[in-house]
Amino acid sequence: MQYAPTVNAMIKYTLIPLLPFLAFIINILLGRNFIRDKAHWVAIPAVFGSFVLAVSAFIDVANGQVINIDVYSWIVSGDFNVSFGFLIDQLSAIMLLVVTSISTLIFIYSVGYMHGDPGYYRFFAYLSLFVFSMLILVMANNFLLLYFGWEAVGLCSYFLIGFWFHKKSAADAGKKAFIVNRFGDFGFGLGVILIFLTLGSLDYMEVFNRAGGIAGQTINILGTDFDLITVICLLLFCGAVGKSAQLPLHVWLPDAMEGPTPVSALIHAATMVTAGVFMVARTSPLFNLSATAMNTVAVVGGLTAIFAATIALVQNDIKRVIAYSTVSQLGYMFLALGVGAYSAGIFHLYTHAYFKALLFLGSGSVIHALGDEQDMRNMGGLKKFMPQTYKVFIIATLSITGIPFLAGFFSKDEILWRVYQQGDLGKFLWFLGTAAALLTAFYSWRLIYMTFHGKFRGTDEQEHHLHESPPVITVPLWFLAVGAVAAGWVGIPPILMEHGDRIGEFLAPVLGHAQGHGSHAEEYFVIAASIFVAVAGWLIAHRMYIKKPEIPAQLGAKYQPIHKLLYNKYWIDELYSKVFVQPTLKLADKVILGFDTIVIEGIVNGIPALIDSFSQGLRRIQTGLISNYGLVMTLGALCMLIGYMVFSG
Amino acid sequence: MVPLSWYIMLSAVMFSIGVFGFLARRNLIIMFISLELMLNSVNVSLVAFSHYLQSMNGQILVFFVITVAAAEAAIGLAILIAYYKNNPTIKVDEINLLKG
Amino acid sequence: MDAGTTLTIMDIRPFVPELTLLCAGLILILLDLIVKRKEIVAAVGVAGTIAALYATYKLFGYAQPQYAFFDMFVLDGYSSFFKLIFYLNLILTICISVKFMEIEKASCGEYYSLLIFATSGMMIMASAADLIVLYLGLELMALSTYILAGLTRKRHRSNEAALKYFFLGAFSSGFLLYGISLTFGLTGTTNIRDIAHAIYALNVMDSPILYLGMIFIVVAFGFKIALAPFHMWAPDVYEGAPTSITAFMSVGPKAAGFAVLGRVLFDAFGGMQVQWTSVLIPMAVLTMALGSIIALSQTNIKRMLAYSSIAHAGYMLLGVIAGTPEGLTSTANYLMIYTFMNIGAFAIVIMLRREGFRGENIEDFKGLSKSHPLAAALMLIFMFSLTGIPPTAGFVGKFYVFMELINSGYTYLAVIAVVFSAISAFFYLRIVMYMYMKDPGEEIVITTSPSMSIALAITCVMVLILGVFPSFLLNLVRYSILG
Amino acid sequence: MPGTYIPWDYVPVMIVFAFAVMIGLGALVGGLLVRPRRPYAQKLAPYESGNPPVGEPRYKFSVKFYIVAMLFVVFDVEAVFMYPWAVAFDKLGMFGFIEMMLFIFILLVGYIYVWKKGAFVWE
């Protein structure tokens, strides 16, 4: 059902992305000289305005007003039409809420966190630009705009990862994110082009309507016939794998933690990395046509979930643990998408945004208090210094590990239950998911115990400066904590409460209902299993880090190869580094360094020698003499005349 | 009556002489005069056509050409004087500071 | 033309915008004798321009073309759109020159009235429905610009620029007149529409004399537009003239040239389209090639922009070559976009000019981003736009010209144009490279004034807005030209 | 067509022209043949009413002459428009009169400008 939007509605929807964009413009233009450390007075109202409008848009959608409008056509020429339009349906409405609400909180948090940074205005400018791009990505009604948003959020992410560009590791991490994402985006771009070539349109609705027509068609690649839809879906999924840091392109995300913590929370936990999930859900009509693609999504998701969780077990950097946890949780979301439970995936995306942002911001609060210390081995016992942070951390951890009636419980459970229903493959993936949940519980509590319990292991000076963060930091934390507790209450399984799964019903017009049947007994079993592993993981962690703190070291020594394997993240980074990253970086360095020599010097000294010498030669025609110029003019006229005589006979 | 083609040929020859003078001579004043010759050759042909076609348009244009030529002469001379004050030369092959 | 026809005051109504502007010019001449502060003169000039703009706007409401002076002068959508370009060109030029002319020590009231007279000439050209009026407009424009090019009388380069411009310009108007006289002789009329009728009625499409006449007319317009091989004056004159005048000249006469080229070729010589297309295609390719290639080895930014403007003339010509009203529309669209981006680029060059420092070398832009990030960012936008990188307006302009070209079946020309466009990226991005990747040499001081900021804001905003919302301008130009 | 038509009306003019050329050339050629040639320095010097020549023969005129000449050219030639107007004055009527007044007014503006700029001040 679509309603003809009024002008007011159009203005409203246009304003949602426009407000952060204006904030970006104002900050980038005036920030350096005029606004400086007042940048948040521009950015926060803008993003809060977007939030208010997003709420209003959500209410519209809830009242059944799904809107698909071309706000304007950028280029219209014959069949080729590039338009800028919004599709505001249930899916984008939820995404809008998530993006704008989390952004608002993180913007406020950043006021405290980035206080005194020389690039304060720049930070808010980039962050606003990011929000703008993300909103465009979410609101787009065609693939081209989606692609624009996709690349733009990537660009902002690279800027922000490398925000402290004088820090070499930060600059490197930015480069790494850029290069790794090239692989995914290349596939994504190819997918979009293939869609245009085969379906003749980039508009979502037209593509989805026409997609049925190409089902069963094949495309010949290197002499082998492939199912066309499958190829398209897998290419699109390539993009999602890159952006959402799934196996095997997950390597950039942990490094991206070099960026400021609000960036990690906003971009690398709550919003941008979930763009892949959103995109797959958005293009679900295509994915539904290809069982192969769906299974690929599910398997990649399941493997990533367990794989990243194992790495997180032994990491010592607080942000890296959370980063691997993010990768793992994103795996859950893909797992849900892959089994056709799109709304479960989006539900988890939504709850995850809150508790993961909370974890990141909480860790930011810790890092801030410790003077940029990120190694958990140098923390401990912070409970008494930072009670507020400790409390919200506990809430987030309870939520992520799936303790009943918190947000994470409902969404994770929904996923596991949907997965469980999908035959043998489903059972296997469910097992992976449940195992990952056990690991999640373990490493999450490990993080708490290493950070907040025991004795402080840092330097005296750090201890001397230990303090609870100011309200500007803790208040957003509490807001997020509310989300981490309550966000899941919109998706209570029908088995526990009738009509409890309101989010699933809400999203059904866009994403459909998940297929699959299962008895109540099975469902209770799945729930019980996940509660069991959550508690089990907690208890193990408690035993290893509180009761007998010597166990981890003993275990590490005993199973040294495994520990080493996990600690070094399966050496995947090293592998990529040798095979892909180093060569690419070298190439990039050469290109960037060579820019001077090749392009600048080149034009003067003649590396594009042909054109240049040509140019120098042609310059000599220009003698500077009036008579010669007149002669050339006369000869030109004569040539035309002679040409006429010759050709017209 | 002199036939039209004679006038046209006269005009063409004058125009060619003007173009040649402009291209071949090295003295700015002579070039200037050559330009005037070109304009006047046009006037000849315009008047001839106008008479031949019994249409006044050609002669009206001649009026305008004459007056514009006067304005052009004034401006051209002014520019020439301004140039000469800074660089006392009227040899056209010495005027090539701007080139390339 | 019957002298017995009664003339009434209503008859000159279509001429009111020109009249307004000419009056403003006359007032400025007299005002300059009384008023000392040149800013006031400039402000009055802008006010006059806005008054003329308003007159054009009011008159534009009529759907039908309106004729004046016995069908010698026409006010229609086509001329009105070009007049809009001229007004913008004039206002922006005035804005960027107030401070600059002071530094050049050539601040005088005549400067502004000459700008206005030149603009009036362009407007008369765009509205000319008769070759006589066309010639008058062209000379009014040309004579004023000759003087403007040499306005900084103490500078050798300025003198030389004016001298060259004058001699070659007069030479080209000799060609124009000869072409007009041949056309008149063969068709018996100087009215543009009557010429077209006469060509059909007398069946002289293949007449070599008429062809010669057309060629000579094209030579003169080609000179104003700076199409190869009639472009030779442009680099020298652009380099030598005061920078604000270079900005003015690179847009105004070019647009006026295209306005008359379109009208004369489409209306008068519409029956000879095969002939003129075959003439223009080699010209366009040569123009793009020479412009983009020679620009690579320039060290003076004004000279580089001159070659760039030659190359752009080549792209614009492609719309005329397409041979359809839509093609002409895309050229007009390009011209409007070009106005903003080119004047913007020149404005930045002007900002570098200060007492005792010319700031015209590309080297002078080294490290501009470090000392003046805003100026560097603006220059970056203009350079991107001139290169044609989305989402700037330059991309849109090129895109539509190429699209119309392909629609008319000249795909190979579009490919050639894209290749030269890619070559041109080298010299535009070289500026960007100097600004962002080189360390500053000596300290850069920029000179700015409120009017300059206004001009920069307008140009930059328009370059971006037209890049993102091109349909606004496109609808305007389509409505104006196609009706 | 050329070659077929001879403009008989102009024959007397041609004859006069031919005579003029013959007499002029004849006098010069005759003198050349008859006169003795004995050149010396004083004789070759330009004749300046018996006085010895002073300075360069190319004399630098003051720029004022050029200015006056320019103004003369412009204002003089503009008068050309008044002839056709004067001829067709009755037919053009009031509108033509106003037009011409406007034309003259514009010239007047130019005149005032030139005047105020001091182009007429000789010293």
More confident residue, A180 or A581: A180
Mean pLDDT of the C212-235 span: 93
Which residue is listed with tokens 């081209």?
Answer: A144
B22 vs A contacts (CB less than 8 Å): 627, 630
What distance in Å separates residue D28's CA from the closest CA in chain B?
28
Residue A461 burial (C-beta neighbours within 10 Å; 0-12, 13-18, 19+): exposed
In this complex, the residue of B19, B23, B100 whose CB is nearest that of residue A619 is B100
Q: Is the pLDDT of residue A47 over 50?
A: yes
DSSP-based three-state secondary structure for A142 = strand
In this complex, the residue of D88, D91, D109 whose CB is nearest that of residue C29 is D109
- Per the CB < 8 A criterion, the answer to whether A357 and A269 are in contact is yes
Interface of D with C in 55-114 (CB under 8 A): 88, 91-93, 95-96, 106, 109-110, 112-113
Around A437, how many Cα atoms within 13 Å sit in the side-chain half-sphere? 31
In this complex, the residue of D5, D7, D63 whose CB is nearest that of residue B81 is D63
- Per the CB < 8 A criterion, the answer to whether C141 and C155 are in contact is no
* Chain centroid, CA C59 distance in Å: 23
Structure confidence at residue A402 as a pLDDT band (50, 70, 90): confident
Q: Is the pLDDT of residue C8 over 60?
A: yes
* Chain centroid, CA D111 distance in Å: 23
Choose which CATH entry (3.30.43.10, 1.20.58.1610, 3.90.245.10, 3.40.640.10) describes domain D8-116: 1.20.58.1610
Interface of C with D in 3-62 (CB under 8 A): 3-4, 6-9, 26, 29-30, 33
User: With the CA atoms of C25, C26, C27 and C31 taken in that order, what torsion angle do they form, in degrees rounded to the nearest 10?
Assistant: 100
The whole-number pLDDT of residue A576 equals 67
In this complex, the residue of C290, C403, C433 whose CB is nearest that of residue A600 is C433
Name A182's bridge partners: none
Q: Which chains touch B (3 or more CB pairs under 8 A)?
A: A, C, D
Q: Cβ–Cβ of C30/D96 closer than 8 Å?
A: no
Q: Cβ–Cβ of A626/B26 closer than 8 Å?
A: no
N- to C-terminal Cα distance for chain B?
53
Q: Cβ–Cβ of C146/B64 closer than 8 Å?
A: no
B99 vs A contacts (CB less than 8 Å): 622-625
The mean of the pLDDT values for chain C is 90
Q: Is the pLDDT of residue A598 over 70?
A: no
Is any Cβ of chain A less than 8 angstroms from the Cβ of C59?
no
The whole-number pLDDT of residue A495 equals 72
Question: What residue ranges do the domains of chain B occupy?
Answer: 4-86
Q: Which chains touch C (3 or more CB pairs under 8 A)?
A: A, B, D
Q: Cβ–Cβ of A637/C215 closer than 8 Å?
A: yes
B97 vs C contacts (CB less than 8 Å): 156-157, 160, 240
Residue A132 burial (C-beta neighbours within 10 Å; 0-12, 13-18, 19+): buried
- Of these ranges, A14-28, A264-278, C164-178, the one predicted with the greatest mean pLDDT is C164-178
- Per the CB < 8 A criterion, the answer to whether C29 and C438 are in contact is no
The whole-number pLDDT of residue C248 equals 95
CA A492 – CA C159 distance, rounded (Å): 85
Token digits of residue A380: 């401990």
To test the contact with chain D by mutation, choose from B4, B29, B81, B83 the residue with the greatest count of D C-beta atoms within 10 A, namely: B81
- Of these ranges, A350-359, C8-17, C255-264, the one predicted with the greatest mean pLDDT is C255-264
Is any Cβ of chain D less than 8 angstroms from the Cβ of B27?
no
The mean of the pLDDT values for chain A is 80
- Of these ranges, A433-437, A558-562, D56-60, the one predicted with the greatest mean pLDDT is A433-437
More confident residue, A604 or C99: C99
What distance in Å separates residue B67's CA from the closest CA in chain D?
6
Is any Cβ of chain C less than 8 angstroms from the Cβ of A647?
yes
To test the contact with chain C by mutation, choose from B15, B68, B84, B93 the residue with the greatest count of C C-beta atoms within 10 A, namely: B68
Q: Cβ–Cβ of B64/C132 closer than 8 Å?
A: yes
Name every residue in C having a CB less than 8 A away from some CB of B.
Answer: 1, 131-132, 135-136, 139, 143, 146-147, 150, 153-157, 159-164, 166-167, 170-171, 174, 177-178, 180-182, 184-185, 188-190, 235-237, 239-240, 298, 303
Run of H or E including B29:
helix B28-53
Q: CB pairs below 8 Å between B and D: how many?
A: 39
More confident residue, A85 or C264: C264
pLDDT tens figures, A84-124: 888 888 888 888 888 898 888 888 888 888 887 777 888 88
Q: Cβ–Cβ of C8/D93 closer than 8 Å?
A: no
Structure confidence at residue C187 as a pLDDT band (50, 70, 90): very high
Q: Is the pLDDT of residue C247 over 90?
A: yes
DSSP-based three-state secondary structure for A88 = strand
The whole-number pLDDT of residue D1 equals 44
Q: Is the pLDDT of residue A546 over 90?
A: no
Neighbours of D79 (CB within 10 A): 10
To test the contact with chain D by mutation, choose from B4, B6, B50, B60 the residue with the greatest count of D C-beta atoms within 10 A, namely: B6
Q: Which residue of D has its CA nearest to B9?
A: D2
Residue A201 burial (C-beta neighbours within 10 Å; 0-12, 13-18, 19+): middle
Buried b (16+ CB within 10 A) or exposed e, A513-541: ebebebeeeebeebbebbbebbbebbebb
Q: Which residue of A has its CA nearest to B16?
A: A634
DSSP collapsed to 3 states, B50-100? HHHHCCCHHHHHHHHHHHHHHHHHHHHHHHHHHHHHHCCCCEHHHCCCCCC
D2 vs B contacts (CB less than 8 Å): 3, 5-6, 9
To test the contact with chain C by mutation, choose from B28, B47, B55, B61 the residue with the greatest count of C C-beta atoms within 10 A, namely: B61
Around C221, how many Cα atoms within 13 Å sit in the side-chain half-sphere? 28
Domain spanning B4-86: CATH 3.40.1190.20: no
Structure confidence at residue A604 as a pLDDT band (50, 70, 90): very low
Q: Which residue of D has its CA nearest to B76?
A: D70
The whole-number pLDDT of residue A512 equals 76
Smallest CA-to-CA distance from A144 within A76, A85, A94, A96 is with: A85
Residues in chain D where the model's pLDDT stays below 50: 1-2
Structure confidence at residue C143 as a pLDDT band (50, 70, 90): very high
pLDDT > 90 in chain C, percent: 59
C150 vs B contacts (CB less than 8 Å): 79, 82-83
The whole-number pLDDT of residue C3 equals 45
Token digits of residue C263: 């009208």
Is any Cβ of chain A less than 8 angstroms from the Cβ of C170?
no
pLDDT tens figures, A326-360: 888 888 888 888 888 888 888 888 888 888 888 88
Q: Which residue of D has its CA nearest to B1?
A: D7
pLDDT tens figures, C27-81: 998 898 888 888 888 999 999 999 999 998 888 766 688 888 888 899 998 999 9
CA A10 – CA C101 distance, rounded (Å): 47
Q: Which residue of C has its CA nearest to A615?
A: C294
CA A282 – CA A95 distance, rounded (Å): 11
Amino acid identity of C36?
Answer: K
Token digits of residue A649: 């006979």
The helix/strand count (H/E) of chain C reads as 19, 2
Is any Cβ of chain B less than 8 angstroms from the Cβ of A619?
yes
Interface of B with D in 37-56 (CB under 8 A): none
Mean pLDDT of the C196-223 span: 91
- Per the CB < 8 A criterion, the answer to whether A308 and A251 are in contact is no
Length of chain D: 123
Q: Is the pLDDT of residue B24 over 60?
A: yes
- Of these ranges, A248-257, C8-17, C359-368, C394-403, the one predicted with the greatest mean pLDDT is C394-403
Amino acid identity of B2?
Answer: V
Structure confidence at residue C190 as a pLDDT band (50, 70, 90): very high
DSSP string, chain D: -TTT---GGGHHHHHHHHHHHHHHHHHHHHHHHHS-----HHHHSPP-TTSPP-S-SS----HHHHHHHHHHHHHHHHGGGHHHHHHTHHHHHHHHHHHHHHHHHHHHHHHHHHHHTTTT---
Q: Which residue of A has its CA nearest to C223?
A: A633
Q: Is the pLDDT of residue C225 over 90?
A: yes
- Of these ranges, A310-314, B88-92, C199-203, the one predicted with the greatest mean pLDDT is C199-203
Around D73, how many Cα atoms within 13 Å sit in the side-chain half-sphere? 18
DSSP-based three-state secondary structure for A589 = helix
- Of these ranges, B35-49, C352-366, D93-107, the one predicted with the greatest mean pLDDT is B35-49
Packing angle between helix C393-407 and helix C411-437, nearest 10 degrees?
170
DSSP collapsed to 3 states, A162-218? CCCCCCHHHHHHHHHHHHHHHHHHHHHHHHHHHHHHHHCCCEHHHHHHHHHHHCCCE
Q: Cβ–Cβ of C293/A78 closer than 8 Å?
A: no
Q: Is the pLDDT of residue A311 over 70?
A: yes
Q: Is the pLDDT of residue A2 over 60?
A: no
D69 vs B contacts (CB less than 8 Å): 77
CA C346 – CA C359 distance, rounded (Å): 12
Length of chain B: 100
Q: Cβ–Cβ of A624/B98 closer than 8 Å?
A: yes
Neighbours of C343 (CB within 10 A): 27
Q: Cβ–Cβ of C399/A636 closer than 8 Å?
A: no
Interface of C with A in 412-431 (CB under 8 A): 423, 426-427, 429-430
The whole-number pLDDT of residue C2 equals 45
